[in-house]
Amino acid sequence: MGARNALRVAREVRRGRPVRRDGRRRSATAVARPRRGGGIEVVAQDGARLHVIDQRPAHPGADAVLWLQGLNAPAAAWGVQLAHFSRTHRCIAPDARGVGKSDAPPGPYTTRQLADDALRVLEACEVERAHVVGLSLGGAAAQELALAQPDRVRSLALLASFARQAPRSRALMEAWRALYPAAAQAAPLREAWEKQAYAWLFSDAYWRKEAAVRAALRFASSQPFQSVQGFQGQIDAALAHDAIGRLPSLRVPTLVAHGALDQLAPPAGAEEMARLIPGAELLLVPEVGHAVNLEGQRAVNAALRALWARSP
């Protein structure tokens, strides 16, 4: 940033106007703009462009659901839930910063920053209150959103999520962070990377379903390969997240749903979250791994509908 630009930025800051790192003024008002190829674009407070899926049922006035995906997963990974619930609810699903069609600005990212992005999306979509569903890292961001903006959250569903990293999970993510740059540089390594990542997501029983595994890998290969900057930024957010001491202050109807065979986020962490969040319901889905929304979709979808039905 040049001296002249630095002086202009200083003036803008003194006037209370948000300014991006590159010196351009941030947008003070969240606006949703149609995006070529479908979906909408929302600009975050720091100027990062967020791609958002916004699906509405035919009837007006439907309750809104905000869907927040996990590490290295675009909003399209909610496909099963979006197809199921968009007939009855307005479904808003952003690609988090660093993944999919959203920008991948320099990191590190934090879950509070991801929560701020999610709030920005709600504001742009003119949604005052929404049911919030977060998977894994998306669940960590959902915790921060509910803690910071409880009046905006009608209910909270934490799927395969965590309030802090377990030691083995932390070691794995640190290894992923170090290895990902090599995987991103060569096509054969990209395919191997996707396969090993999916090995952590699904149970052995799922892997025996060859057609299902092929479909999952086809979906992975059809998505933009996450940039090193975006992946490492998201990993940093996952590693730094720690909401354990703040969970007892949550005051929204909450569902904690977890696969009993989850190897990426140990079920013991889900049990701890359910104990700490007042009135939380715990659903442990047997014989299911980390991708509880896919392997355990019937149980999870039913539990979500029940949660929303009892949430004011």
List, as one string, the DSSP characters of 24-76.
Answer: PBPPSS--EEE-TTSSEEEE-TTS-EEEEEEE--SSTTPPEEEEE--TT--GG
Residue 117: strand, helix, or coil: helix
Percent helix / strand / coil, the chain, rounded to 5? 50, 15, 35
Q: How much is the pLDDT for 18?
A: 38
Q: How much is the pLDDT for 28?
A: 59
Q: Can you tell me the distance from the alpha carbon of 112 to that of 97, in angstroms, rounded to the nearest whole number?
A: 12
* Closest-CA residue to 259 (of 159, 172, 173): 159
C-alpha triplet 100, 82, 300: angle, nearest 5°: 110
Q: How much is the pLDDT for 175?
A: 97
Per-residue pLDDT reduced to its tens digit, 87-121: 999 999 999 999 999 999 999 999 999 999 999 99
Q: How much is the pLDDT for 26?
A: 45
Q: What is the pTM of this model?
A: 0.89
Q: What mean pLDDT comes out for the span 117-146?
A: 98
Per-residue pLDDT reduced to its tens digit, 156-193: 999 999 999 999 999 999 999 999 999 999 888 988 99
Evaluated on CA atoms 100, 101, 102, 103, the torsion sign reads positive
Q: How much is the pLDDT for 42?
A: 98
Q: Can you tell me the distance from the alpha carbon of 238 to that of 1, in angstroms, rounded to the nearest whole number?
A: 31
Pairing mode of beta strands 281-285, 40-43: unpaired
Q: Which two tokens stand for residue 42?
A: 């929302």
Q: What mean pLDDT comes out for the span 255-270?
A: 98
Q: How much is the pLDDT for 212?
A: 86
Per-residue pLDDT reduced to its tens digit, 205-245: 999 998 988 888 888 888 878 999 999 999 999 999 999 99
Q: How much is the pLDDT for 71?
A: 96
Are 54 and 203 in contact by the 8 Å Cβ rule? The answer is: no
Residue 197: strand, helix, or coil: helix
User: Which range among 56-60, 147-151, 305-309 shows the weakest confidence by mean pLDDT?
Assistant: 56-60
- Better-predicted residue by pLDDT, 259 or 26: 259
Per-residue pLDDT reduced to its tens digit, 271-294: 999 999 999 999 999 999 999 999
User: Which range among 46-55, 151-160, 222-231 shows the weakest confidence by mean pLDDT?
Assistant: 222-231
Q: How much is the pLDDT for 111?
A: 99
What domains can you pick out in the chain, each with its CATH number? Answer: 1-29 (no CATH), 31-168+230-309 (3.40.50.1820)
Average of per-residue pLDDT values in the chain: 91
Q: What mean pLDDT comes out for the span 242-264?
A: 98
* pLDDT for residue 54 is more than 90: yes
Q: What mean pLDDT comes out for the span 28-47?
A: 86
* pLDDT for residue 19 is more than 80: no
* pLDDT for residue 5 is more than 60: no
- pLDDT > 90 in the chain, percent: 77
Residue 205's CB is within 10 A of a number of other CB atoms, namely: 12
Structure confidence at residue 133 as a pLDDT band (50, 70, 90): very high
Q: Can you tell me the distance from the alpha carbon of 248 to that of 12, in angstroms, rounded to the nearest whole number?
A: 39
Residues belonging to the chain: 312
* pLDDT for residue 1 is more than 80: no
Cis bond before residue 108 (omega within 30° of 0): yes
